[in-house]
Each structure stands twice: as structure tokens, then as C-alpha cells.
């Protein structure tokens, strides 16, 4: 008889991968699984697990960073497990303090409901609607009476809550912590009790809240959920987390051409991360990309094109990636300059004491980079062209003869400048 770890299970009438095969996919691109042995035990039962993700719809628009946990949930769905997506129309009225250095402004119920509608529409670009239960935690949180709230809160310890890094830092720094923020992890934990979660997912900054759910379920005599966290996706700049505030994001509703162009602008070194967290490639294919980067055989430009096609297909349908690539090539590979290109005086290409033009400063002066540091990173990545010719990586002082009236400088899809 086959090992229990290798035999295939049958969930809801169809075969799924063995426990080891499932874990290979589940652990790819995760930060923490607490505890791993409990997840293995749950999978060995051979019955569909209830995978929970709670989202507070604080913004109407999602980006690839928001989609990272959704992609992981889709993997669980593909294995035959169930997904419960909790719309936090109750908790959003408080605002999740995780990772915050100040109190998050609460939203009105009208704002929450409007955001929730667009959130679900965009989330279904990733999740299988037929295998997704969508619930609103306001349905059970808003009716809570004082007695029930006190009973729930009595199961938590203030000292333990203050161990949270965000609360600890604010307390130590003398910054305000509103009393209602202490309640947030209690309510999120209660969500897990209500939906009987087997596993809860979240960003790595959510680990305290997820573990609070385990503690509450255990104290109420339930089998505790497993906590699974995923990393925060680095934005297009290659440094800060993806965020609309940092203008380094790829929106799930971006047009196919715009989405492709943004993905072609990412730093070479974060291409493997994007494949692992954002693409539909298999774990083996992604491992091969990591290996190619490790031994120096990777072609970042070719891989970026593959990545961009894959992600555009995911959010816009099969064939959209090829069409976006053709449009990209028409504009950039054939050196078609945009009509609205920004123009700067030739004098910005100033010659320095070495008789050269410092390219990093020039890129900053013509607004292609926000700083000389960012400009150097663009140069290091091989993403700078002058009149269609790629500049050599890590070479910052260049020949002044490259620049004259009419010279076009370019980096990525949207960064253009002409000297006049």
C-alpha cells in the first residue's frame, strides 16, 4: 500500500495531489506556516480544508501586491479545498493597526461597501468564483452585545498585545494607541471562530492577528487554525513595498498595454520574486529561473517579457499578453517616440571635470529618475537608452558626443526625454 504522504486523495469526487505534492506548492512563496506539522496533519485527513482570508476594503483598487495571498488561495482551490473570503465591513470601521505607526482613519460604512464591491470584482480575476464563499463579518460583529464582547476580550492579555512590534514601537516612542485598536485582533480572531477556519492567510505583518485566531479557537475548544503568511511584494522600483502611495504599483485593472509596460520596467533582480508571487508558472519552472539567476545564465530581458505576457494573460485573458507585447515592440523596439515626450535644453548634458557627462545626474535632471541613486540603479540594470542604443551597465560617465539637439533619452516604457 502506498505511503499516506504519497497516495492521492479524492476531494469532492476528483483526485488531487498527494500531501507532499500539495506542500511543495503551498510552501513556495510563503514566509511562515505555523505550525507546519498541523498543516500536514490537516491535509492527511483527505477532506477539503476551509482556507480563510479576511480583507478590509480600505481602497477600491487592487494591485499585484494585494493579489499575492489571492494567488495562494487559488492554489488551494485548485487542490480541491474551500476558500472563505471575509469582507471586513465590521473590522474596517476600526482599521487594522498591523504595521502602522499611527492610528488608521476609520472608514464610513458607505465607503466600505463601495470599496467591497470593486474588491470582490477584482479578486475574482484570481479566485474561482464557483469555489469561493464570500461573507461579511459585519453580519456577526455588529450584533455583538456587551456581554459577548467582554467574554471575548477576557480571553486576551493586554501585555501580550503590547508585544506586537507595531504597538510596542508606538508605546515606546510615546505615540498614541487608541483603545479601539486593541480590539481589532480580537475581532479578527473571532472571525476564524465563526467560519471555522482550518487555515488563515495574511501578509507577514499580520502574523500576530493570525496567531490570535489560533489562541481563541483553542480556548473555545475548537481545532486551531494554521497561520500562513506571504511576503509583501516589492514594487516596480525594486526597493519599497508595492503601494499606490509610492506610485510603484501594477493595478489589476490597468490596461493590458500599460500592465505589460510597467512589468518590463521592473529591476532585473526582482524578476524571480515576481515569477514566484505573481505568475501562474509551476514551482519547478520557477525553481529553474532561480537556478539560472544563481549561476549567471539567466537572460533578464527575455524573462521579463515572459513574465509580462503571463501576468497580462492572467488578468486580461489568453492572448492579451501577446497583443500587449506586440504593441510594446511597436513603440519601443522600433524606436517609436511618444508624441508628448518631455523636452529639456541641451545644456543639461553638462561636461564635468573629467570631460564626460555624468549620466546619472542627467537622468535625474530630465526627470527620468527621481534621484541620482535611482538613476544609477537604472544604469546598472541596463535599462537606459540614448537614441535607441542601450548604455553600458555600471558606466556612469559617458561621451558628450552622444548628446546633441534632438537626442532622445529613454528608460522603460514611460520615461522619455528629448534634448532641444
Q: What residues does each domain of the chain span?
A: 10-230, 256-333, 342-419
Chain mean pLDDT for the chain: 88
Q: Out of 3.40.50.300, 3.40.50.620, 3.40.1020.10, 3.60.10.10, which CATH number does the structure's domain 10-230 have?
A: 3.40.50.620
pLDDT tens-place string over residues 109-121: 788 888 888 899 9
* DSSP H/E element including 32: strand 32-34
| Phi, psi at 342, each rounded to 5° | -70, 145
Q: pTM of the full predicted structure?
A: 0.75
The DSSP 8-state label assigned to residue 234 in this structure reads B
What is the separation of C-alpha 184 from the centre of its chain, rounded to a whole number of angstroms? 23
Q: Is the pLDDT of residue 100 over 50?
A: no
Within 220-320, strands assigned E span 226-230
Topology classification of domain 256-333: Tyrosyl-Transfer RNA Synthetase (1.10.240)
Q: Distance between CA atoms of 409 and 417, rounded to whole angstroms? A: 5
The whole-number pLDDT of residue 405 equals 78
The whole-number pLDDT of residue 17 equals 85
* DSSP H/E element including 203: strand 199-203
| Phi, psi at 394, each rounded to 5° | 60, 20
Burial 144-162 (b: 16+ CB within 10 A, else e): eeeeeeeebeeebeeeebe
CB 230 within 8 A of CB 204: yes
pLDDT tens-place string over residues 353-369: 889 999 999 999 999 99
Closest CA to 249 of 262, 260, 261: 262
* DSSP H/E element including 82: strand 82-87
Share of the chain above pLDDT 90, in %: 55
Q: Is the pLDDT of residue 152 over 80?
A: yes
pLDDT tens-place string over residues 133-150: 999 999 999 999 999 999
The whole-number pLDDT of residue 3 equals 44
Q: Which residues, other chains included, contact 40 with Cβ-Cβ below 8 Å and sequence gap of 6+? A: 19, 23
The whole-number pLDDT of residue 168 equals 63
Topology classification of domain 342-419: 3.10.290
Measure the CA dihedral 212/101/103/166, to 10°: 20
Sequential DSSP letters for 337-377: --TT-EEE-GGGS-B-TTSSEEHHHHHHHTTSSSSHHHHHH
Compute and round to an integer the Cα radius of gyration of the chain: 25
Higher-scoring residue by pLDDT: 78, 383: 78
CB 33 within 8 A of CB 228: yes
| Phi, psi at 15, each rounded to 5° | -75, 140
Q: Is the pLDDT of residue 378 over 70?
A: yes
**Cβ atoms < 10 Å from Cβ of 36:** 14
Residue corresponding to grid cell 482613519: 105
Q: Tell me the mean pLDDT in the region 52-59.
A: 86
Write out the three cell numbers for 25: 506548492
Q: Is the pLDDT of residue 102 over 50?
A: no
Amino acid at each position: 500500500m502506498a505511503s499516506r504522504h504519497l497516495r492521492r486523495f479524492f476531494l469532492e469526487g476528483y483526485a488531487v495531489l498527494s500531501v507532499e505534492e500539495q506542500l511543495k506548492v503551498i510552501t513556495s512563496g510563503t514566509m511562515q506556516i505555523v505550525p507546519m506539522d498541523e498543516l500536514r496533519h490537516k491535509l492527511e485527513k483527505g477532506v477539503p480544508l476551509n482556507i480563510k482570508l479576511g480583507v478590509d476594503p480600505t481602497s477600491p483598487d487592487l494591485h499585484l501586491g494585494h493579489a499575492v495571498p489571492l494567488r495562494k488561495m487559488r492554489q488551494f482551490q485548485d487542490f480541491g479545498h474551500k476558500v472563505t473570503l471575509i469582507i471586513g465591513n465590521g473590522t474596517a470601521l476600526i482599521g487594522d493597526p498591523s504595521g502602522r505607526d499611527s492610528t488608521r482613519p476609520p472608514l464610513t460604512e458607505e465607503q466600505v461597501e463601495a470599496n467591497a464591491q470593486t474588491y470582490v470584482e477584482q479578486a475574482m480575476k484570481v479566485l474561482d468564483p464557483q469555489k469561493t464563499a464570500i461573507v461579511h463579518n459585519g453580519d456577526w460583529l455588529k450584533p455583538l452585545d456587551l456581554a459577548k464582547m467582554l467574554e471575548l476580550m477576557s480571553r486576551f492579555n493586554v501585555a501580550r498585545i503590547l508585544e506586537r512590534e507595531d504597538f510596542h514601537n508606538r508605546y515606546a516612542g510615546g505615540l498614541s494607541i487608541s483603545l479601539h485598536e486593541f480590539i481589532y485582533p480580537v475581532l479578527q480572531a473571532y472571525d476564524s471562530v465563526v467560519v471555522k477556519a482550518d487555515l488563515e492567510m495574511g501578509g507577514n505583518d499580520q502574523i500576530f492577528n493570525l496567531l490570535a485566531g489560533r489562541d481563541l479557537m483553542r480556548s473555545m475548544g475548537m481545532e486551531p487554525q494554521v497561520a500562513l503568511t506571504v511576503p509583501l511584494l516589492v514594487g516596480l522600483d525594486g526597493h519599497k513595498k508595492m503601494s499606490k502611495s509610492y506610485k510603484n504599483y501594477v493595478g489589476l485593472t490597468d490596461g493590458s498595454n500599460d500592465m505589460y509596460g510597467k512589468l518590463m520596467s521592473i529591476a532585473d533582480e526582482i524578476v524571480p520574486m515576481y515569477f514566484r508571487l505573481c505568475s501562474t508558472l509551476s514551482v519547478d519552472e520557477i525553481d529553474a529561473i532561480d537556478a539560472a539567476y544563481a549561476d549567471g545564465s539567466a537572460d533578464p530581458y527575455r524573462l521579463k517579457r515572459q513574465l509580462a505576457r503571463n501576468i497580462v494573460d492572467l488578468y486580461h485573458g489568453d492572448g492579451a499578453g501577446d497583443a500587449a507585447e506586440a504593441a510594446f515592440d511597436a513603440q519601443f523596439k522600433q524606436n517609436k517616440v511618444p508624441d508628448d515626450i518631455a523636452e529639456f535644453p541641451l545644456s543639461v548634458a553638462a561636461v564635468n571635470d573629467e570631460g564626460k557627462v555624468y549620466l546619472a545626474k542627467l537622468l535625474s535632471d530630465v526627470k527620468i529618475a527621481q534621484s541620482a541613486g535611482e538613476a544609477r540603479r537604472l544604469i546598472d540594470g541596463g535599462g537606459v537608452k540614448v537614441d535607441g542604443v542601450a548604455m553600458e551597465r555600471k558606466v556612469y560617465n559617458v561621451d558628450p558626443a552622444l548628446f546633441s539637439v534632438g537626442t532622445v533619452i529613454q528608460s522603460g516604457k514611460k520615461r522619455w526625454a528629448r534634448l532641444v
